[in-house]
């Protein structure tokens, strides 16, 4: 059974309806790693719906979280905003300086991410956490937290083995300048928290408004209760023993609600370069990823992997494999015949991954395939600049019957982006030789050389099109008495510097008569 279906089943035994949640702090550019957070939760949500459960999927944006420090992509101007809620400070310009006329910091990073989510078929209920504070929904939890602060402090100290000060409060008020740093609470009298900030200024915060927030570990536990969350997968950083999940569970109960079960997923890493991080700049954005990778393939990368396995995200060679695996699975799904238990499980898992990879829930997977392997399309896209020529070629090779569908058109457009990008694998790149290298010349036999010479003289006279080129290759090889395989090998060596390749006549045709014949004349 697929992990999402399995989780859905477990959840249905516990609750009548589900609220699946994700939470992310918009402290910088969103990256592919965040997509795992989102998709893990969203796929569980879909699995619940598919099982006939009631379910909602909410994406909580931690817009009330403070700016921790001046990240590398920010200018020094942000020094003055440290400790401010992200919803209350200006978004950065491209050069890192604050843009006082633009959107707030949280929205600035959030909006492009939501756009990317739409593309991969994720339409969450978005909750801005600062609004939950603003409209007073947290007031009761804050009150409970403060009145039970000793107990909560003990939980955190015992479980996370952190030491908290004697006068610790599970609430950080915003001081006179807008920052939550260095504000000391003097007393609590519902609904006001009285404080003195780092300038010695006294003030009070209303717990029914966004005039302060609970610290992270308490805030998370409170959110579970306020939104009635039944499942929130968390990154493994939160999942460690003594981590925020372990403290959140008892704190949530202290605050009067039943917490979701602990659920932890592994991280996505960029192949070869360690974990992604918004602040270190080691990222690939969802938007960039989606310009190269079809959305159903991106979903499939997450869906096919068990949540406790780490994923090496790679927009290089393994993308071919993943994409082609997807195509194969759709066009040739595991059969429903008599199977033993294990094979049945394996089949259900694979089909579940496929089902959850669809951009639109419930859509037939066969509508999401292009009918052509990634590899083949990559080859065609490189040798044919005109899309129509590609459709023609695909019709001839019987990949395509009639007009290309939307999926195929999208695939080709993304393929062209990929080929033009630095991510495209070098060994998949077709490189037309200018002239033959000494090493390659030695691989060519005398017979092959005769073939090339005769072909050269014939090609000079023909109309330059794929059919003519092909016919000449065949006739010349017959005339010389060279078997066809060796003839093609000679041509591949000459033109691509390799002993094999895609249909050589297409390449020669696409490259053009003059350039092709130049290669011959320089090499022979």
Among 96, 136, 203, 215, binds RNA (CB under 7 A): 215
Least gap, CB of 115 to RNA (angstroms): 18
Least gap, CB of 484 to RNA (angstroms): 6
d(CA 232, CA 41): 7
Among 175, 225, 239, 404, binds RNA (CB under 7 A): 239
Least gap, CB of 265 to RNA (angstroms): 7
Q: Is the peptide bond before 22 cis (omega within 30 degrees of 0)?
A: no
Q: What are the two backbone dihedrals, phi and then psi, of residue 440, each rounded to the nearest 5 degrees?
A: -70, -35
Among 119, 148, 160, 453, binds RNA (CB under 7 A): 160
Tokens of 257: 């609600």
Q: Which is nearer to RNA, 203 or 497 (CB)?
A: 497
Whether 205 and 173 have beta carbons less than 8 Å apart is answered as: yes
Among 75, 93, 277, 366, binds RNA (CB under 7 A): 277
Angstrom CA distances, 524 to 255, 302, 444, 456, stand at 84, 52, 11, 9
Point out which span in 50-58, 136-144, 322-330, 515-523 binds RNA (CB under 7 A): 322-330
Q: Does 373 bind RNA (CB under 7 A)?
A: yes
Q: Which is nearer to RNA, 188 or 451 (CB)?
A: 451
Among 118, 308, 443, 522, binds RNA (CB under 7 A): 308
Q: Which is nearer to RNA, 121 or 239 (CB)?
A: 239
Q: Give me the half-sphere count of Cα atoms (radius 13 Å) on the Cβ side of residue 210.
A: 20
Q: Which helix (H) or strand (E) holds 194?
A: strand 192-196
Q: Does 513 bind RNA (CB under 7 A)?
A: no
Point out which span in 110-118, 204-212, 268-276, 511-519 binds RNA (CB under 7 A): 268-276
User: Which 55-94 positions form the footprint of RNA (CB under 7 A)?
Assistant: 65-66, 68
Count of all residues that appear for the chain in the document:
524
Q: Does 229 bind RNA (CB under 7 A)?
A: no
Whether 169 and 149 have beta carbons less than 8 Å apart is answered as: yes
Dihedral angle computed from the Cα positions of residues 9, 10, 14 and 16, in that order, rounded to the nearest 10 degrees: -20
Among all chains, which residue has been given the structure tokens 């003289």? 457
Among 240, 360, 437, 445, binds RNA (CB under 7 A): 240
**DSSP output for 36-60:** HHHHHHHHHHHHHHHTT-EEEEEEE
Q: Does 489 bind RNA (CB under 7 A)?
A: yes
In a 3-state reduction of DSSP, which class is residue 55? strand
**Residue 336 DSSP symbol:** -
Q: Does 236 bind RNA (CB under 7 A)?
A: yes
Task: Name every residue whose Cβ is closer than 8 Å to that of residue 336 and which is 6 or more positions away in sequence.
Answer: 347
Pairing of strands 192-196, 202-206: antiparallel
Least gap, CB of 503 to RNA (angstroms): 4
Tokens of 223: 């959110």
Q: Does 397 bind RNA (CB under 7 A)?
A: yes
Tokens of 343: 């094979």
Q: Which is nearer to RNA, 17 or 277 (CB)?
A: 277
Q: Which is nearer to RNA, 15 or 373 (CB)?
A: 373
Least gap, CB of 42 to RNA (angstroms): 14
Least gap, CB of 48 to RNA (angstroms): 17
Q: Residues binding RNA: what is the number (CB under 7 A)?
A: 91
User: Which 111-150 positions form the footprint of RNA (CB under 7 A)?
Assistant: none
Q: Does 461 bind RNA (CB under 7 A)?
A: no
**DSSP output for 104-163:** BHHHHHHHHHHHHHHHTT---EEEEHHHHHHTTTTHHHHHHHHHTHHHHHHHHHHHH---
d(CA 231, CA 45): 9
Among 292, 354, 496, 519, binds RNA (CB under 7 A): 496
Least gap, CB of 284 to RNA (angstroms): 10
Q: Which is nearer to RNA, 56 or 246 (CB)?
A: 246
Least gap, CB of 216 to RNA (angstroms): 4
């Amino acid at each position: 059974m697929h992990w999402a279906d399995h989780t859905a089943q477990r959840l249905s035994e516990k609750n009548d309806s589900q609220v699946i949640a994700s939470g992310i702090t918009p402290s910088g550019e969103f990256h592919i790693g965040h997509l795992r957070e989102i998709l893990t939760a969203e796929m569980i949500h879909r699995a619940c719906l598919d099982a006939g459960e009631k379910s909602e999927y909410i994406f909580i944006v931690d817009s009330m979280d403070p700016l921790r420090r001046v990240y590398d992509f920010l200018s020094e101007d942000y020094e003055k905003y440290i400790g401010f809620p992200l919803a209350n400070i200006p978004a950065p310009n491209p050069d890192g300086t604050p843009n006082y006329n633009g959107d707030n910091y949280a929205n600035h990073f959030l909006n492009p991410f939501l756009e990317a989510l739409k593309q991969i078929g994720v339409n969450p209920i978005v909750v801005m956490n600062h609004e939950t504070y603003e409209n007073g929904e947290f007031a009761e939890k804050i009150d409970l937290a403060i009145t039970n602060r000793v107990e909560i402090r003990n939980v955190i100290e015992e479980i996370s083995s952190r030491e908290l000060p004697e006068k610790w409060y599970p609430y950080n008020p915003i001081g006179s300048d807008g920052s939550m740093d260095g504000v000391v609470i003097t007393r609590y009298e519902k609904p006001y928290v009285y404080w003195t900030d780092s300038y010695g200024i006294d003030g009070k915060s209303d717990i029914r408004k966004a005039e302060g927030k609970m610290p992270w570990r308490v805030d998370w536990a409170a959110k579970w209760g306020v939104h009635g969350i039944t499942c929130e997968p968390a990154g493994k950083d939160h999942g460690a023993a003594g981590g925020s999940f372990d403290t959140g569970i008892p704190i949530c109960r202290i605050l009067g609600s039943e917490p979701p079960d602990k659920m932890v997923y592994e991280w996505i890493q960029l192949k070869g370069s360690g974990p992604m991080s918004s602040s270190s700049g080691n990222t690939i954005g969802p938007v960039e990823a989606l310009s190269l990778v079809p959305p159903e393939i991106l979903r499939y990368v997450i869906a096919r992997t068990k949540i406790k396995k780490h994923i090496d995200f790679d927009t290089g060679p393994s993308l071919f494999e993943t994409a082609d695996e997807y195509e194969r699975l759709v066009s040739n799904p595991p059969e429903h015949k008599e199977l033993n238990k294990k094979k049945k499980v394996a089949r259900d898992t694979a089909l579940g991954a496929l089902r959850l990879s669809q951009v639109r829930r419930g859509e037939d997977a066969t509508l999401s395939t292009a009918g052509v392997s990634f590899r083949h399309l990559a080859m065609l896209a490189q040798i044919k600049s005109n899309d129509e020529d590609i459709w023609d070629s695909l019709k001839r090779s019987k990949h395509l019957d009639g007009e290309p569908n939307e999926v195929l058109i999208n695939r080709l457009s993304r393929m062209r982006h990929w080929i033009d990008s630095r991510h495209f694998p070098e060994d998949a790149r077709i490189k037309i030789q200018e002239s033959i290298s000494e090493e390659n010349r030695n691989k060519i036999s005398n017979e092959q050389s005769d073939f090339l010479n005769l072909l050269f003289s014939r090609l000079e006279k023909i109309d330059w099109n794929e059919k003519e080129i092909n016919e000449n290759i065949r006739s010349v090889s017959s005339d010389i008495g060279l078997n066809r395989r060796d003839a093609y090998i000679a041509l591949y060596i000459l033109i691509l510097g390799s002993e094999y390749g895609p249909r050589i006549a297409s390449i020669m045709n696409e490259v053009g008569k003059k350039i092709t014949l130049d290669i011959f004349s320089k090499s022979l």
